[in-house]
Amino acid sequence: MRRFILLSSTLLVLAACSSADDGGITTTSSSSTAATSSIVSSSTSSISTDIEITEPHANALVTSPLIVKGQARGTWYFEASFPVKLLDGNETEITVVPAQALSDWMTPDFVPFSVALNFSKPATQNGTLVLQKDNPSGEPAHDASVRIPVRFW
């Protein structure tokens, strides 16, 4: 009976932990076998082992210019940049601007980046900020992106 209670308590704790607020940040990467997607908890906006966003946080109220800052591994860049898109609530592209590496990008280490997105306020209240790994080869196996929900002010 004690084992049953202990096991039940453990399962309840695990269930409570897994249903905690995830902040809505989604990372997606493709591989030759299958695309994988995971939602990551984000009070620090740490997305994955390849990219970290410090601004903006998930569900932040944003205005123009939207400043996006963080760091990504050198493998996310091509010619010192990677694309950053802002979508409205209907997934319509509002703007695309390249995030620029702020130091040498030809490294497997993290490289800081910054980008300012100028835009007109869309008709929808919500949108998505999409940071895409630059993939000059076009090979789906090398695709990766991070989607951050935002709210327009």
Q: For residue 97, what are its two tokens?
A: 């601007």
Q: Are 118 and 95 in contact (CB under 8 A)?
A: yes
Nearest residue to 54 (alpha-carbon basis) of 8, 7, 99, 5: 99
Taking residues 11-22, report their average pLDDT.
36
Q: Are 56 and 148 in contact (CB under 8 A)?
A: yes
Taking residues 44-55, report their average pLDDT.
74
Q: Are 28 and 147 in contact (CB under 8 A)?
A: yes
- Cut 0.75: pTM above it: no
| Domains of the chain by residue range | 22-152
pLDDT, the chain, mean: 78
Taking residues 98-110, report their average pLDDT.
96
The pLDDT-based confidence of 37 (bands split at 50, 70, 90) is very low
Q: Are 112 and 99 in contact (CB under 8 A)?
A: no
pLDDT of residue 153: 87
Place of tokens 């989604």: 26
Cα separation, 149 vs 59, in Å, equals: 5
User: Tell me, which fold does domain 22-152 have in CATH?
Assistant: Immunoglobulin-like (2.60.40)
Q: Find the angle CA(35)-CA(40)-CA(41) to the nearest 5 degrees.
A: 175
